[in-house]
Amino acid sequence: MLNYLLMDKDLDELSLIIRLGERYFDCSLSDAEEELLRDMLGRTRLSHPAIDELRALTGFRTNVGLRSSERRLKGRVRLVSGVAAACVVIFSLGLYTTVTRRASAISAPADVTTCVAYAGGKRITDQEAIIRLLGEDMREFTRDVRASEESFSEELSDVARIIDNIENEYPEI
């Protein structure tokens, strides 16, 4: 008997959420009713496609129960961001060391204003050649970032397509 009462209460709660949701999309909720809907969406323990849709469309977001695909996606975003940040730091340190380090500390004494770079084990002091090398490095870095962004975009669209397929399996109310 107790289970029947709980199920009846759950059905009443689901029914109320759905009715409020329909009125929400018709823009006929008062502020108090909209607050009640948001409170119910945040507190309900019920799992139903209509509740998930209302949460998504009303901007309600919870981190509880993330799908494994969402966890992997967040991990990939963090990984790509971390790798990009590490590349920028390494490049900046290399550039800083090359430009500011005195040539006399590396090898033979040189003028403090002389720009020195090492590429392929060779010492380069021609400023135009150094700038050209830096430009090539920046273009290569930009190409790698674009390739990474394209790969990430493809993975994101794959995940979105999978989520759409899963959501289409549930009937609308």
Is there a contact between 137 and 92 (Cβ–Cβ < 8 Å)?
no
The 10s digit of each residue's pLDDT in 100-153 is: 765 445 555 555 677 888 888 888 888 888 888 888 888 898 888 888 888 888
Looking at the chain, the whole-number percentage of residues with pLDDT higher than 70 is 76
Non-local (6+) Cβ contacts of 65 within 8 A are none
Q: What is the pLDDT of residues 55-64, one digit of tens each?
A: 888 776 655 5
Tell me, what's the pLDDT at 5? Answer: 46
Going by C-beta distance under 8 Å and a sequence separation of 6 or more, which residues neighbour residue 87? 141, 144
Q: What phi-psi label fits residue 122: left (phi over 0), alpha (psi between -120 and 50 degrees) or beta?
A: beta
Provide the residue ranges of all domains of the chain, joining segments of one domain with +.
Answer: 2-57, 68-168
CB 17 within 8 A of CB 51: yes
Please give the model's pTM, rounded to 2 decimal places.
0.34
Question: Given this model, what pLDDT does residue 101 score?
Answer: 66
Per-residue pLDDT tens over the stretch 4-48: 444 778 788 888 888 988 888 888 888 888 888 888 888 888 888
